[in-house]
Structure 1
Amino acid sequence: MDVEMGSPSPHRFCLYPGLHEDLVGAHPPGAHSLVAVSVGYFLEDFVDMLCNQKLHQSWELLFHHSVVIVCFGIAVLLHQYVGFALVALLVEINSIFLHLRQILLMADLVHTTCYRLNSIINLGTYVVFRIATLAWMTRWLFLNRQHVPLATYTVGTIGMAIMTPMNIILFYRLLRSDFFKSSRDIRREKEK
């Protein structure tokens, strides 16, 4: 089934020759394998968090991983929506800087130029690769709803309805933590 990406923009996600023309039916072996490996990664990380972290510390990520595993699992098992899943993987580009931020925090390097630079890059990639990608995906789902079976459309819509607010909340937390410190945080730093 050929489904247009629904974007009049000449800038298309060209992830694989021809894939941008059919995000539903095209499933090149390399692309399908990448999505399958991603499911494995999210499963492994899910189990690791269950075993090694307290639920109150990891429930948001466990919830996130559950949604991704279901959505990507559909793409892998049905050999459909692989292109759409690859677009979703663009979000993971920002994860590089989120993880680096966590490493810098654990190393107590918050007051360094490296941390500050990473904070700026992190927010920039967050807007481009998380917020803009999720907005584009939501728009694509809406524009192509007549070409997507109801069950798959429902899973995709619920997935986007969960992921979008989660990412907006995380963006707010990052912005507040790295750029808008409260007067209480400033007092704590002065006391150190």
Structure 2
Amino acid sequence: MGYFCYDLLDMYYHGELEASKEYLIHHSLVITAFSIILFSGRLFGLAMIALLVEVQTVFLHLRTMVRLLYGSKNMPKSIDLLINANMICLFLFRHLPVCYLLFYLLVQDVKVPLVLKTFLVGGLTFLEYHNTHLTMAMAKSDGFFGHERQALDEDSCDPLGSVNKGKESSPKSTTSSTRTARKVE
């Protein structure tokens, strides 16, 4: 929970909360859900499975750092391996656990109080939406499904979009290859 509290404070301090509504909702849901689980003493197993989602965050940040390092340069094949591994981990650690938890809460009799179950199902549904949005944005940015790989800079490295929306202009392609970088201005 410390990471989510810190990240919210960091977004507030840097004036990014207004443009980061999806992160604000995501972090607030996680903090609330884990607080309820901690204070009620119930569903620790579900919380542990939900924490698998954060394993992929390590790969997400590594991908971002490597992409920032190379910018718009052609990247070596090892970077393609990292990007592909990131997408695999995204499905293994973000989509599968959330879908399993939704199945568990909705289909199996877990004797969870209705109010708590409703909150958890709503939160997990939003989390799956958030993960799907993240997956599609990263797939497009990383050159999957016929898209051109986008070059990242410090402002455009967030897969869900820049927090400085007003300063952005439309992206211009500098290459035609589907897995080579293009500069986002």
Distance 1:116 1:53 in 2: 34
Q: 1:182 to 1:121 in 2, by over 3 A?
A: closer
User: What is the alpha-carbon distance in structure 2 between the residues aligned to residue 117 and residue 57 of structure 1?
Assistant: 32
* Aligned-partner Cα distance in 1 for 2:57–2:149: 29
Could you give the per-residue CA deviations for residues 73-125 of structure 1, whole angstroms, max 9, x where no partner exists?
A: 11111111111111000111111111111112332356233432221111101
Secondary structure class of the residue paired with 1:107: helix
Counterpart of 2:66 in 1: which secondary structure?
Answer: helix
- Greater alpha carbon shift after TM alignment, 43-52 vs 128-137: 43-52
Q: Could you tell me whether the CA contact under 8 Å between 1:109 and 1:115 is conserved in 2?
A: no
Letter in structure 1 aligned against 2:132: I
Contact 2:4 2:27 in 1 (8 A): yes
Which residue identity is paired with 2:83?
A: S
Q: Are residue 98 (structure 1) and residue 60 (structure 2) matched?
A: yes
- CA pair 53-139 structure 1, distance change in 2 beyond 3 A: same
C-alpha distance in 1, partners of 2:25/2:141? 23
Partners of 1:173 and 1:136 lie apart in 2 by: 23
Counterpart position of 2:23: 61
Q: Is the 8 A contact 1:101 1:118 kept in 2?
A: yes
- Aligned match of 1:119: 83
Amino acid in the other structure paired with 1:124: I
In 2, the alpha carbon distance for the partners of 1:41 and 1:183 equals: 33
Structure 1 residue 136, shift from structure 2 partner: 0.3
Tell me, in whole angstroms, the C-alpha distance in 1 between the residues paired with 2:81 and 2:15: 29
SS of the residue 1:54 aligns to: coil
Q: Which residue of 2 aligns with 1:158?
A: 122
How far apart, in 2, do the equivalents of 1:61 and 1:156 lie? Answer: 17
2:15, 2:56 → 1: CA distance?
A: 23
Aligned AA (1:152): L
CA distance in 2: counterparts of 1:109 and 1:184, whole angstroms: 11
- Aligned match of 2:164: none
The reply to whether residue 43 of structure 1 matches residue 5 of structure 2 is yes
How many residues were matched structurally?
154
Note the C-alpha offset of 1:169: 1.3
Deviation of residue 146 (structure 1)? 5.9
Aligned counterparts of 1:56 and 1:187: Cα–Cα separation in 2: 27
Query: Any conservation in 2 of the 1:97–1:122 contact (CA below 8 Å)?
Result: yes
CA distance in 2, matches of 1:75, 1:108: 42
Q: CA deviation at 1:56?
A: 4.7
Identity %: 31
Equivalent residue of 2:70, what SS? Answer: coil
Distance 1:133 1:53 in 2: 32
Equivalent residue letter for 1:123: M
2:141–2:149 contact (8 Å) kept in structure 1: no
SS at match of 1:147: coil
In structure 2, what is the equivalent of residue 89 of structure 1? 51
How far apart, CA to CA, are the structure 2 residues paired with 1:143 and 1:88? 17
Q: Would the aligned equivalents of 1:94 and 1:126 in 2 still touch at CA under 8 Å?
A: yes
Structure 2 unaligned residues grouped into runs of 5+: 151-170, 176-181
- The TM-score, its normalising length taken from structure 2, stands at 0.73
* Preserved CA contact (<8 Å) 1:145 1:153: no
